[in-house]
Structure 1
Amino acid sequence: MKVILLERVEGRGSLGDVVTVKDGFARNYLLPRQKALRANSANMKVFEAQRAEIEARNLKAKEQAGKSGEKLDGTAYILIRQAGESGQLYGSVSGRDVADVINAEGGKVERSMVVLDKPIKTLGMHEVKVRLHAEVTVTITLNIARSADEAERQARGENIIASQFEEERLAAEEAAQDMLEGGAGQQEGDYGDH
């Protein structure tokens, strides 16, 4: 299906371009979201008549996105999640979770703006892109941890999973040393006949 783009669409073209896209993409995404018009002679005339207005509206939206992007870019958010000992989350962090945590801190982001190639399934620091406008993308950092204390340690650059295994190894070595020195399981005393 041929459509006239009303804004820049990633990988397709920019405002005013007449492009051919798959019917489903046009019907289910571009047309309902007012990102494009069907490319027929009537719509071409309407578009040409309103082109200056559409470009001005698009520029204004881009400027607003740029302003809010300046506040958002580089910010960090903490998400507390339950996870196993290896750092695997019980569940995953989705675009909706990211949007919710940003909005809770005063941002204005919709779930569809969060760009996640795949869901986040591990503890740690994760960089996530947020597309506020077709031409404005910012990066935020998610600090996913099991507790506020772990989040703080991760923010300082500590690998909490590695340090957890190190702490367990040291504790096991200490326990083994205690046993060798006779601190556990050995009792001194007279077990003679009474």
Structure 2
Amino acid sequence: MAGIAYPPERALACEARGNQPMKVILRRDVRGLGREGEVKDVKSGYARNFLIPTGAVQVADAGALKNWERHRTEREDREKALQSEAEATAEKLRGVRLEIGVKAGEKNRLFGSVTNREIVELLAKEGIELDRHQVVLKEPIKTVGEHRVMVHVFSGIDATVLVNVTPLH
């Protein structure tokens, strides 16, 4: 089935209105698009209908781009500080070994499981503050023994923590 045939002047108007890329400056991290402070080209409909109303971006006109350039070094310095802090946290995490006692039945099968929330709570007791989404578990831990858990500290910086699950009878 063929598409609807519009008069040529209307077809041009539709094309000009909806499919033209628009330059925007990201005010915050947007999943699938980029990080705060980046300049991106997006479809104008996406910008007008979603990104601008939610405050995620600002249109990159001449004044906004000039302001963006002026603040670029400040953003880069802040990014470097966050990265060095993340590297220090990753170093701390690499030396951490967590012990957790959990009720277990026969054959050391746990009643319940150990989740990323419990691991974050144990890390907080060690003086390391993380968000539960930074602890990467494919599925909750359901067996006794030593488990390696990946922690995503920052973009490109990961650490492995040893979690030893012991049975409580």
TM-score normalised by L of structure 1: 0.56
Corresponding residue number in structure 2 for 1:125 = 146
Please tell me whether Structure 1 or Structure 2 has the larger radius of gyration of its CA atoms: 1
Deviations 1:109-153 (A, max 9, x none): 222321222222222211111122223211101001114xx9xxx
2:106 maps to 85
- In the TM superposition, residue 2 of structure 1 has moved relative to its aligned partner by 8.3
Considering only aligned residues, what root-mean-square deviation do their CA atoms show, in Å?
Answer: 3.6
Aligned to 2:165: 144
Aligned positions, number: 138
Kindly provide the amino acid, as one letter, of the partner of residue 144 in structure 1: V
User: Which secondary structure does the structure 2 equivalent of 1:129 belong to?
Assistant: strand
| Structure that is richer in strand per residue | 2
Q: Is the 8 A contact 1:79 1:144 kept in 2?
A: yes
Distance 1:54 1:102, change over 3 A: same
Q: 1:121 and 1:70 mapped to 2: Cα distance? A: 27
Q: Name structure 1 gaps, 5 residues minimum.
A: 151-194
Residue 13 of structure 1: how far off its partner (Å): 5.4
Indicate whether 1:103 and 2:95 are aligned: no
Under a length normalisation based on structure 2, what TM-score does the superposition of the two structures give? 0.64
Deviations 1:36-84 (A, max 9, x none): x425225655433311111110110110111122122142100100122
Q: Which amino acid aligns with 2:123?
A: I
1:16 aligns with 2:38: yes
> For the Cα contact (< 8 Å) 2:27–2:58, is it kept in 1?
no
Q: Distance in 2 between matches of 1:134 and 1:38?
A: 21
Structure 2 alignment gaps of length 5 or more? 1-21
Find the counterpart in structure 1 of residue 82 from structure 2: 61
* Contact 1:127 1:142 survives alignment (8 Å): yes
Runs of 4+ in structure 1 deviating by more than 4 angstroms, as ranges, are: 1-15, 42-46
Report sequence identity in percent: 31
